Structures are given as C-alpha cells and as structure tokens.
Amino acid sequence: MKWFLIGLALITDTLQFIFFFIFLALQWATPYGSGAAGALGGGYICWTLSGGIVEGITNGAACAVAGGVMGAAASAFAVPLGAAVGYFIGITFGSVLVLGLAWGGMFYPDLFFRSSVFKVIPILSSFVPAWTIMVRRCIKRHEQGGLKQGSTLLSTALGLLPGGDLVQKVANVGVQAANINRGRPQTGQQTPEEEEKQKNSPRTPLLSNRFADIKPAMKGAALALLLCLGLTAHAQAVPPPIQYVVNPEVPGPHESVTIEVQGVGSFLGSATLAWTQDGKTVKEGVGERRYTFVTGNLGEKTTIKVSTDSSQGFFTQTFSFTPSRINLLWEADTTVPPFYTGKALYSAGSLYKVVAFPTVYSGGARVLPQALSYQWTRNGDAVPEQSGLGRNTFSYAGDQLQAAEDVGVEVYYGNNRVGRAAISIPTSNPQVLFYQYDALRGTLYDAALPEALSLVGKEITVKAEPYFFSTTARNQGAIPFVWTLNQQQTTGPDAAQGLLTLRQAGSGEGVATLGVSVQNSTPDQFVQTAQRSLQLVFGAQSSTPLLNLFGL
C-alpha cells in the first residue's frame, strides 16, 4: 500500500507542475500567436474579398494588432487559471492520499500541516513536491513506530473541539492502550532489550493486516470525535418550542381550515397569541391557541399570521393558502356491447386508468398540468414508476382479491404541495345477457331478451354478450363460451363467438332451457365469471302468461 501512496503522490505533484508550466507557456506565447494568426487571417479574408495583396496586408496588420491585444488580455488570466487547476488537482488527489494514510494507520497531522503550508502558496504549490515528501515522511515515521508523536499532536488538536477535556482524556487512553499493547511502560520509554528486539523483528506487511495496524490512539480519537458529533446532533435534534398543526394542509375552495399552536411544556398556557388574516387582527388573547377560517374561491390567496408572546420568547409564523382542486376520473378496460352508452365498470383483475384534472393557481395565474408533479399511490402504497413531472395519468391492473381499488395523488408545484385527491374504484361482478340476432339487421342491442319467452316461428338465433370482462383477455381468446340445452352441453358453428341458432324439429310443443357460461381463463383474472339461462316455449301457446319475443 505504501508504494501505491508514494506513486499517487508523485503523480499529483507532477500534474501540478505540468499544468502550471502549460499555462505559463500559454501566457508567454499567446500575444505572439494571436498577432500572427490575426495577420494571416486578415490577409486571407481581404485577399478573398477584394483580391488585392496590398489591401490584404494592411488589414492583416490591423488584425494582428487586435489579436495581440486580445491575446495579451487573455494571457493575464493564464497563470491564475493554471494555479486554480493545480489547487483542484492537489485537493482532489491529496484527499485520497490522506484517506489512504489514515486507512493504513500512517497519518500524522503534524507532517500534514507542514506540507499544507507549501500547498497554499501559489508558486510553491506547483514547484515543491509537498505531497510526495509528506507521504514519504509519514511512512518512515510509521515504520519507526512513531505512534506517540503523531497521536499526541492529534490529541492536542482535538482538544480544541467542544468538550476538549473529554477528547484529550479519550485520546490519552488510546495512547496508553497502544503503549501497553506494544509492551512499553506508560512513560513512553523502551528498555534496551525491547529496542534490540524491535530492531531485529521482521516488519509486518501493511496489506496483510490493515485493520490490526490502525493505531489504538486513532481509534480513541475517532471515538472522541464521534461523541462530540453525537452531542452536536442531539442538540440540533431538540424540537422547537412551538409546533403548528394545520388541518387540512392543502385545502380546497370554501373549505374550513383549522390551525392549532402546540408547545413543548406548559408555557403556552400564559402566552398571549394574536391572529391576523390578510393583515387584519381577527383574534387575540391569552391561551387562544386555535383559529378556524374558511378559504376563498379557486386561486384566491389567504394569509394567516400568528404571533406568540410567551415566557420562552416571541415567535411568529405565517401561513399562505391558495385553494386548488384536483378532480379524478377513472375508466375500466372491460367489455361492453357496441354503442353502449353506460360506463364500463371495473371487475376484479382488469385494467383501469385514472386521470387527474388539476386546477392550481400560483401568483394569480393558472398552472399548466404539464408543469405539475404527480405522486401516485395505490391502496396506500407509493407507485414511483408512474409518478413524476406531468404524469397526470395512472394505469394499473387491479388485484382480483381486492373488493375495491383505492387510488390517490399528491400534486406538487416545485417543492410545494398544492393539492391532493383520492378515489375508490368499486369492483363489479361480470355478467352476460342474451340478445336476438337477426340475419339482416345483426344483433338487436336495443333490448335484452327476458328470462323466458315464447318462440315465434321455427328458429331463433341468440347472441350472448359478456359485460365487464377484461378486454385484454377477450382479445386473446381467454373468455370461452360454454352452451347448454336442457343441462346438456351443445354447440354450433359460431358458438365460440357467442352465437347459437336453435330450430324446432317437428310439430310438438314444450319448454327448453338454454344456458351459457362465460369464464375468464387468465390466472390473475380467474374470478371473472358469469352465467345466464333462457327458457324457451315452443309449439302451442301455454296457458301460462309468458312474454313473447318482444317482451309484450
């Protein structure tokens, strides 16, 4: 690992040196190069336009002067730019070097601060290989067992932090633990036998035991630093003395809104609270912690300000409400007959779509739906793959085990939530109805056949029409028709398309029961099923008053 760090330090110092000289050379060469380029360019342009050599040379000289001036101006920033690039390289790679040294237990702050002096001086930062010197010295001190030197300085530096005594004590414990682990007296002195044993003992490779080589003092210092950060985080996590509860947070037009002030402790009991609405004081007194008002029209802004004068101090908070409205409409991708004027209802497992129609105002102007961000939820769970800017449409395949699909959306304009809405899509059971089919006019969808009718003539063709089955499953042929006549399965040429023709054989009379069963065979929509039966009276009319073909 040490050779990697040394190589990285050499590369860092070399890059800083190279970039500095590149920009330095650019400073020297820019005026002359610009002047020569201006002269050649001006001469070429004038030669092309006028064809005169003398005129081209004259204008070229003028261009050379202008190019020289611009080059000189640009060259003034070359060296600062080179120094900035060098600083960037040094900080980037230097951070990696520091982390690598700390990882290997070879980081010593005093050596780092000495090298940093050369890195903050513009000229010296590019000429002096400070990173290489620092890495080499840190490695050398580590190989010589320089624990106490580095850790003592680190402990002193950490002692400047808040709670410095505690930090120093923890760091000192780390140093003592390190000395005990190494077999040294706590005074930091080695016996002659220990020095001879250390000289003759082989070195442990750094890469073979990276974690064991981290100094106990570094562990103690890190622990102390974590304690300080923990105390700071705890201080920042203390909640403010006053909290505000707004219900609802995003109101609509002409909706009642309640704001309540809540405090930590009992100081609010004697506090004086003053409420203002649109600049007018509407409520004031001791303990007046709640205020209720009604919002205005769509886009009409209402400003509420509450001031709290308590023993803990004076607090103010301002709320702004601009009513908005989010309308949600849904449609299901289920089967209905042609020219059906009703709504295609949702059945369990089918596809459905919800569209949000927002009415949101900002600064008196209506915000376009494409400029809003939509965060969709289904049955209480977020659906991030369908949420985002301008995504006001939500499509999903429902769960066949759910009684309803609950869909909600929160609408944001930038980082501000401007509206929310929710809708519950009920689950309907699929069904199948019978219609008469005419050879000339097709299926007569104006009226469904009743449950019983008298057969007029010798023949009738019945059309079975499924309602509220998955359209996708029907298009894939996953909704077969199973026909029965008097409880016996029957079929016909167009039975798979829902058509069945019945003819009376002979001149007898009687009653026949026609039935059809429709079942969705898709695994995730298996609950979609429906049955229908039709009682047909053929031959002589029965004394029982049955409806005829037209239900009269």
Domains of the chain: residue spans and CATH = 2-144 (no CATH), 242-321 (2.60.40.10), 325-426 (2.60.40.10), 431-538 (2.60.40.10)
Kindly tell me if the per-residue pLDDT of 427 is higher than 70: yes
Q: CA-CA distance, 250 to 375, in Å (whole number)?
A: 15
Q: How many CB atoms lie within 10 A of CB 150?
A: 23
Kindly tell me if the per-residue pLDDT of 99 is higher than 50: yes
User: Which pLDDT does position 529 carry in this prediction?
Assistant: 95
**Percent share of the chain, pLDDT over 70:** 61
Kindly tell me if the per-residue pLDDT of 288 is higher than 70: yes
Sequential DSSP letters for 376-419 = EEETTEE-GGG-EET--EEEEEPPTT-SEEEEEEEEEETTEEEE
Kindly tell me if the per-residue pLDDT of 181 is higher than 90: no
Kindly tell me if the per-residue pLDDT of 267 is higher than 90: no
User: Which pLDDT does position 195 carry in this prediction?
Assistant: 55
Please, what is the end-to-end C-alpha distance for the chain in angstroms? 98
- Output 220 or 349, whichever has higher pLDDT: 349
Residues 6+ apart with CB under 8 A from 180: 186
Q: Which amino acid is at 440?
A: L
Predicted confidence band of residue 84 (pLDDT cuts 50, 70, 90)? low
Predicted confidence band of residue 317 (pLDDT cuts 50, 70, 90)? very high
User: Which pLDDT does position 19 carry in this prediction?
Assistant: 62
Average pLDDT over residues 494-518: 89
394 touches 410 (CB < 8 A): no
Q: Which two tokens stand for residue 501?
A: 């023709």
User: Which pLDDT does position 532 carry in this prediction?
Assistant: 95
Q: Which of 25-29, 473-477, 481-485 shows the highest mean pLDDT?
A: 481-485
Predicted confidence band of residue 265 (pLDDT cuts 50, 70, 90)? low
Alpha carbon distances (Å) from 542 to 219, 452, 514: 102, 12, 18
Report the b/e string of 363-396 with b at 16+ CB within 10 A.
eeeebebeebbbbbbbeeeebeebbeeebbebeb
Q: CA-CA distance, 500 to 462, in Å (whole number)?
A: 5
Q: CA-CA distance, 470 to 528, in Å (whole number)?
A: 8
Q: Which of 104-108, 148-152, 154-158, 205-209 shows the highest mean pLDDT?
A: 104-108
> What pTM value is reported for the model?
0.53
> What single-letter DSSP state applies at residue 430?
-
User: Which pLDDT does position 540 carry in this prediction?
Assistant: 55
- Output 295 or 189, whichever has higher pLDDT: 295
Average pLDDT over residues 85-99: 67
Among 418, 411, 299, CA closest to 361: 299
- Output 364 or 185, whichever has higher pLDDT: 364
User: Which pLDDT does position 102 carry in this prediction?
Assistant: 72
The owner of tokens 């309803």 is 404
User: Which pLDDT does position 528 carry in this prediction?
Assistant: 94
Cα angle vertex 112, ends 109, 114, to 5°? 110
Average pLDDT over residues 504-518: 87
Q: How many CB atoms lie within 10 A of CB 538?
A: 20
Q: CA-CA distance, 130 to 14, in Å (whole number)?
A: 11
Predicted confidence band of residue 549 (pLDDT cuts 50, 70, 90)? very low
The 3-class secondary structure across 64-108, one letter per residue, is: HHHHHHHHHHHHCCHHHHHHHHHHHHHHHHHHHHHHHHHHCCCCC
Bridge partners, 242 (sequence order): 263
- Output 133 or 487, whichever has higher pLDDT: 487
- Output 411 or 103, whichever has higher pLDDT: 411
Among 89, 106, 86, CA closest to 98: 106
User: Which pLDDT does position 303 carry in this prediction?
Assistant: 95
Predicted confidence band of residue 490 (pLDDT cuts 50, 70, 90)? very high
Return phi, psi of residue 136, to 5°: -65, -40
Mean pLDDT of the chain: 75
Q: CA-CA distance, 143 to 145, in Å (whole number)?
A: 5
Half-sphere exposure of 218 (CA within 13 A, CB side): 18
Q: Which two tokens stand for residue 508?
A: 């007898």
The 3-class secondary structure across 476-506, one letter per residue, is: CCCCCEEEEECCEEECCCCHHHCEEEEECCC
Kindly tell me if the per-residue pLDDT of 30 is higher than 60: no
Q: CA-CA distance, 24 to 353, in Å (whole number)?
A: 65
pLDDT in tens, 109-123: 776 666 666 655 655
pLDDT in tens, 432-463: 999 999 989 999 999 999 999 888 888 899 99
User: Which pLDDT does position 378 carry in this prediction?
Assistant: 96
Predicted confidence band of residue 270 (pLDDT cuts 50, 70, 90)? confident
The owner of tokens 């939509």 is 374
Residues 6+ apart with CB under 8 A from 237: none
